[in-house]
Structure formats: C-alpha cells, structure tokens
Amino acid sequence: MSDAVEASAGQRIFVDKQHPDAYKAFVRAAQTVRAATDAAGLNRILVELVNLRVSQLNGCAYCLDVHTRAALAAGETPRRLGVLAAWRDTLLFTPRERAALALAEATTHPSEADAQERAYAEARGVLDDTELSAVIWVAITINAFNRVSILSKHPVREG
C-alpha cells in the first residue's frame, strides 16, 4: 500500500460503523433482494457475476474480494472469473448471464441511455419480468454497498 493510500485510509471513517442502523437497513434490503432472486429462480452464480461486474466497474476491492469468494463457493470457475471484465469478447457466458451483465452495467452507468436501452431489450428477450427486476435490484444493491466500502476504504485483509 502506498504511503498516500495508507494515510488516506487512516483518515476515513467506516460509515457503516458510524451509522449502524442505516447499514443494518442496507443489509435487510440485501436480504430482501436475495429472497427476490431466489424466488425468481436466479442461480447464485449469475447473481455473483452481477455483483462482481458492478464491483469491477466501481473499483471496489473489498466487494470484489467478498464476491469472488462467494462466486467460487457457488461453483463458478476461476477461468470465467478471470475473463469477466471482457465478458462481451468471450463465449463462456450464457445468454441469460450476458443479459444480466449488460443490465448490471446499464444500472451502474444509467446516464448511458443507448447502452441502457440495448441492455434492457436484450434482457427482455431472455429474462422474464421477475428475473429482470431481480437482476436490476441486485445491481442497485451492490452499487450501494460498493459506495459504502469505497468511501470507507474497507480493507481487503489476508486470509
């Protein structure tokens, strides 16, 4: 860790610890979203791919660490995780996963209207309304957690 990053990390507060009730509300929302993904029939690997892609786009090291471990535990392969940032350039992902990843990107960068329209149209072709909504909620939720971790500078620890 560079001296500047280390000094900056020492000056940050963990906003989740500073306002634990707000953080607990986020956790409850995440639990509700997980129940929605389960009810929609989305498998854990697809959900973790969405969590990882959003965390890649946002540059959240802490969430990348957490969700890489979760994806591996769900049965995801290191090979697919290694190429996730370039998912459009590989045939390793299913049409459902590709649609979910495009939706995740559109949710993370909503000001890119053309990309958002293309992602939504693609998703409508392979996801039903419940699945589509659940994927968007996963992306919204991980975007929020990314911001908590990035602004708090939550550390990625050994082990």
> Three-state secondary structure along the chain?
CCHHHHHHHHHCCCHHHHCHHHHHHHHHHHHHHHHHHHHHCCCHHHHHHHHHHHHHHHCCHHHHHHHHHHHHHHCCCHHHHHHHHHHHHCCCCCHHHHHHHHHHHHHHCCCCHHHHHHHHHHHHHHCCHHHHHHHHHHHHHHHHHHHHHHHHCCCCCCC
Mean pLDDT of the chain: 94
Per the model's pLDDT, the better-predicted residue between 9 and 114 turns out to be 114
Per-residue confidence (pLDDT) for residue 9, from 0 to 100: 53
Angle, helices 44-58 vs 129-152, to 10°: value is 40
Asked if 71 and 48 touch (Cβ cutoff 8 Å), the reply is yes
Residue with tokens 């890649």, as numbered in its chain: 56
pLDDT band at 11 (very low <50, low <70, confident <90, very high): confident
Q: How far apart are CA 101 and CA 85, in angstroms?
A: 10
Which of these ranges, 65-69, 112-116, 123-127, 138-142, has the smallest mean pLDDT? 112-116
The pLDDT, as a whole number, for residue 7 is 47
Number of neighbouring beta carbons within 10 Å of residue 65: 16
pLDDT tens sequence across 88-124: 999 999 999 999 999 999 999 999 899 999 999 999 9
